[in-house]
């Protein structure tokens, strides 16, 4: 597997539109959602050549898709993949990772609220343009 992931690019994919289908369903059901963006084991990325710069760009794009539509409950762990025991293998959380998740999930589940989330679904996230958009061009997408 050494060097095998050098050409992977998660920033351009039809799966962004699939994800939009899920977001649309959450919005239709007024579901208050907590999204967890997991880390990638830094040692694994180094060994396979997976670009962490590309992962940071993916993170920027997916966070934009979420927050621009009102999905603001996000636990972003993408920068924690180099911490010992945070990840056990490629992407599965270790004990430190689970501790970090628990510290964010517990307050989210424990909060008492009677207000429904206010989401603003944007059908442009279904478009081929969004699926192929380079995260560096988010400003142009905003101004369409």
User: What pLDDT is attached to residue 143?
Assistant: 75
What are the residue ranges spanned by the domains of the chain?
Answer: 31-139
Query: What is the percent of the chain with per-residue pLDDT over 70, rounded to a whole number?
Result: 99
Beta bridge partners of 74: 35
Using 50, 70 and 90 to split pLDDT, how confident is the model at 76?
A: very high
Q: How many CB atoms lie within 10 A of CB 54?
A: 17
- What are the tens digits of pLDDT across the range 78-93? 999 999 999 999 999 9
Residues 6+ apart with CB under 8 A from 46: none
Residue in 62, 50, 51, 57 with CA at minimum distance from that of residue 16 = 62
- What are the tens digits of pLDDT across the range 32-61? 999 999 999 999 999 999 999 999 999 999
What sign has the CA pseudo-torsion 99, 30, 117, 133?
A: positive
pTM for this prediction: 0.93
Phi, psi of 44 (to 5 degrees): -65, -45
Residue in 82, 11, 101 with CA at minimum distance from that of residue 44 = 82
The tokens 């539109």 sit on which residue?
17
User: What pLDDT is attached to residue 17?
Assistant: 97
Q: From its phi and psi, is residue 8 left (phi > 0), alpha (psi between -120 and 50) or beta?
A: beta
Contact 49, 4 (CB under 8 A): yes
User: What pLDDT is attached to residue 114?
Assistant: 84
């Amino acid at each position: 597997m050494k060097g095998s992931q050098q050409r992977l690019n998660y920033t351009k994919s039809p799966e962004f539109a699939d994800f939009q289908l899920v977001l649309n369903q959450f919005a239709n059901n007024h579901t208050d959602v907590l999204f967890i963006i997991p880390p990638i084991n830094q040692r694994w990325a180094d060994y396979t050549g997976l670009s962490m710069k590309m992962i940071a760009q993916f993170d920027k794009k997916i966070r934009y898709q979420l927050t621009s539509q009102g999905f603001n409950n996000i636990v972003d762990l993408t920068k924690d993949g180099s911490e010992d025991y945070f990840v056990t293998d490629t992407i599965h959380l270790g004990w430190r990772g689970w501790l970090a998740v628990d510290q964010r999930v517990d307050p989210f589940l424990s909060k008492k609220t009677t207000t429904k989330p206010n989401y603003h679904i944007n059908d442009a996230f279904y478009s081929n343009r969004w699926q192929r958009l380079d995260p560096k061009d988010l400003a142009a997408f905003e101004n369409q």
